[in-house]
A and B are shown apart, each in its own frame.
Chain A
Amino acid sequence: LDAQPYCELHYHARRGSLCAGCQKPITGRCISAMGHKFHPEHFTCAFCTKQLNKGTFKEQNDKPYCHPCFVKLFG
C-alpha cells in the first residue's frame, strides 16, 4: 500500500479486510454486512450462533439474527 511495506495484519487492517468476528485477515470468501466484513463462518446469529447467509438475516442493535431467533426475541 502506498509503496510502503506492511505486515499481513496491518495490511488487511488498512484495507478494511479484517473479519469483524475474529479480527483476522479475510483471504477467501468474504461477507460484507452491517458495515463490516466477515469470514462466512464468523457471520453468525447472535442467539443460536448458527451461520447466517447474507440477505436472510435480521439486524437489531448492530447484532445479526437468523429469522427464527429474530421472531422469537423480537416478534
Chain B
Amino acid sequence: MSHSLIEGIRMPDGHYADGTWELRVLVTDLEQELIMRVTGELHVGGLMLRLVEKLEVKRDWSDHALWWDRKNVWLLKTHWTLDKYGVQADAGLSFTPQHKLLRLQLPNHKHVR
C-alpha cells in the first residue's frame, strides 16, 4: 500500500502525514470544545460515536446532531462521510440538540412556549 511511502513524514504540527486532520467540535450542552482527529472517510455517525465516547458523559444523546455553523446545515445523514459533506479542518461543528425552545408570538400578541 502507498501507506508505507508516507510513513515517517511528519507534518509541522508533529503528527505523521497519515491523511488525518483535526476537527473542532463544540458540545453546546457542556460548553466544551473537543478536538477530534479524523479522516475524510469517517462517517458522521462514527464521529458522533467518538464524540460521545470521548465525553464519557452518560446521558440521552439521541436528540443531538452535528450542526455546521458556517454553512447553516445539519449533518443528519449519518451514513455520509465528512468528505461527502465537504467538511474539512476549518469547518467548526457543533454537537447540539435538534429540538430547542422557541418563543412564538401569536396574532393576538400572546406568547407561547
Contacts and interface: CB of A to CB of B under 8 A. Distances in A.
Interface in B47-73: 48-49, 52, 58-62
A39 B46 CA distance: 29
B79 interface: yes
A72 B80 CA distance: 11
Do most interface residues of chain A lie in helix, strand or loop, or is the interface mixed? loop
19 contacts: A46-B52, A47-B49, A47-B61, A47-B62, A48-B62, A49-B58, A49-B59, A50-B62, A68-B62, A69-B62, A72-B48, A73-B45, A73-B46, A73-B48, A73-B49, A74-B45, A74-B46, A75-B78, A75-B79
Interface of B: 45-46, 48-49, 52, 58-62, 78-79
